[in-house]
Structure 1
Amino acid sequence: MHSQRPLSYAPTPYSYTPNPALSATINLDEEVKLASSSAERDLYESLAEIYSIIVTLDGLEKAYIRDAISESEYTETCARLLKQYKSTLADETVSREFVDLETFKRMWQLECPRATERLRIGLPATIEQASHGTHTPSGGMPTSAPAAGASGSLILIATENFITFLDALKLNMVSKDALHPLLSEVIQSVNKVTDRDFESRGKIIQWLITLNQMRATEELSEEQARELSFDIEQAYQGFKATLN
Structure 2
Amino acid sequence: MSYTQNYLNSVNGPSTSSSTMSFPNSSFGGNGAGPGGPSSNGRPVPNINLDEEIRLTTNNRERAQMDNMADLYSIIVVLEHLEVAYIRSAVSHTEYTPACKQLIAQFKTASSLLVDVVPDLEKFMKEYSLDCPAAAKRIKIGVPATIEFGDAGSSNTSGHYKNVAEIVQNYNNAMDTLKLGRTAADEMHPFLADIMQSLNSMRALPSDFEGRAKMREWLIKLNAMKASQELDNDEKRQLEFDLDSTYSAFMAWLNSQ
Same fold, judged at TM 0.5 (above): yes
1:83-131 alpha-carbon deviations (Å, 9 max, x no partner): 110121223xx11111211111122121211211111122211211148
For the 8 Å contact 1:150–1:194, the answer to whether it is kept is no
Partner of 1:219: 230
- Mapping for residues 115-134 of structure 1, pairs under 5 Å: 115-130=135-150
Alpha-carbon spacing, 1:42–1:167, altered in 2? closer, same or farther (3 Å): same
1:201 aligns with 2:212: yes
- Mapping for residues 50-199 of structure 1, pairs under 5 Å: 50-91=72-113, 94-130=114-150, 147-150=156-159, 156-191=165-200, 193-195=201-203, 196=205, 197=207, 198-199=209-210
**Deviation at residue 50 of structure 1 after TM alignment:** 0.8
Question: How high is the TM-score relative to the length of structure 2?
Answer: 0.70
**Deviation at residue 37 of structure 1 after TM alignment:** 2.8
* Matched residue count: 214
**Deviation at residue 239 of structure 1 after TM alignment:** 4.6
Partner of 2:47: 23
Partner of 1:34: 56
For the 8 Å contact 2:148–2:197, the answer to whether it is kept is no
**Runs of 5+ unmatched residues, structure 1:** 1-12, 133-145
**Deviation at residue 216 of structure 1 after TM alignment:** 2.4
**Deviation at residue 151 of structure 1 after TM alignment:** 8.0
Name the CA distance, whole Å, in 1 between partners of 2:254 and 2:156: 10
Name the CA distance, whole Å, in 2 between partners of 1:131 and 1:242: 22
1:179-206 alpha-carbon deviations (Å, 9 max, x no partner): 1122223333444x52444452221112
Name the CA distance, whole Å, in 2 between partners of 1:47 and 1:130: 32
Q: Output the amino acid matched with 1:194.
A: M
Q: Output the amino acid matched with 1:179.
A: M
For the 8 Å contact 1:53–1:81, the answer to whether it is kept is yes
Q: Output the amino acid matched with 1:121.
A: I
Superposed CA RMSD = 3.1
Name the CA distance, whole Å, in 2 between partners of 1:218 and 1:154: 32
Rg comparison, structure with higher value? 1
Alpha-carbon spacing, 1:36–1:155, altered in 2? closer, same or farther (3 Å): farther
Q: Output the amino acid matched with 2:223.
A: N
Q: Output the amino acid matched with 1:48.
A: A
Name the CA distance, whole Å, in 2 between partners of 1:18 and 1:208: 58
**Runs of 5+ unmatched residues, structure 2:** 1-29, 38-44
Alpha-carbon spacing, 1:151–1:88, altered in 2? closer, same or farther (3 Å): farther
For the 8 Å contact 2:184–2:229, the answer to whether it is kept is yes
**Identity of matched residues, %:** 35
* 2:115 partner SS: helix
Q: Output the amino acid matched with 1:90.
A: S
Name the CA distance, whole Å, in 1 between partners of 2:111 and 2:176: 29
